[in-house]
Amino acid sequence: MAAERVERSTLPEGVRAARDLRDGEPRAFGLELEGYAHLLRMLDKARATLAGTAGNYQFGCPVDHTCMARLDVTPELVLDLASRYADDLCVLQALRDHGIPSAQEAWFDAVLVEEQLQEEGVYLRVRSREQLPEQGDGRLFAGAEHGADVDVVLVEMAAGQRCPAAVATAAHVWVIQEGQARFFLGSMQARIARAGEVVRIPADVTWRVENTGAGTLRAVTVRPARPG
């Protein structure tokens, strides 16, 4: 117990002040801090997440992200300030120093947002590249798994790398973001596509692609979603 107390005393003050949400709840939806909507509940969840006591109330739900989007701040900043300060007003002052909008400009109805989530299942789903599974030369956002009608692949190909010839079962699109690629269509056609250009690959025709640039080719491909 003594060792546990010593270890806890070395934690940042915000983490030490974290509520145990495994046996309780964060402050209610609709509570405001000097007019800022949802901030109190979000800070409870942030501190508990850092302390490992969040239970089912992990920081980063769609309502939290709505709050952060209206404040124009990152999750990393919120977690950092929640960790450093146990006093919510100190967090708010630090956010103001960071340049957040006024409470009136940033206000939203957190209760209605939560009701929409629970009753209609409507929300924005966001995944980072690292959260997506690898597939071939990229990372796959599988539409069937996320309620979308398309699959999206984030492609990265090293200089000189080639993809083997294939026949697409449906037309799909490549958006070149960085570098350049040479596309081959059938046995006759070829074209170089550069950053900022969009390429359509027709269905039922053999095609292939190679990175002809000096650096990494980065592109996004979009195709009809394959059944899950």
Model pLDDT, residue 4: 45
CB-based burial, 13-36: b 16+ in 10 Å, e otherwise: ebbebbbebeeeebbebeeebeeb
- What is the predicted pLDDT for the residue at 10? 84
pLDDT in tens, 147-201: 899 999 999 999 999 999 999 899 999 999 999 999 999 999 999 999 999 999 9
What's the pLDDT at 121? 82
pLDDT by 10-residue block (mean), the chain, 228 residues: 53 96 96 98 98 97 96 98 98 98 97 92 87 92 93 96 93 97 95 97 96 96 90
8 A C-beta contact, residue 71 and residue 63: no
**Confidence (pLDDT) at 7:** 58
Distances from the Cα of 74 to the Cα of 66, 77, 124, 169, angstroms? 11, 5, 16, 40
pLDDT of residue 227: 86
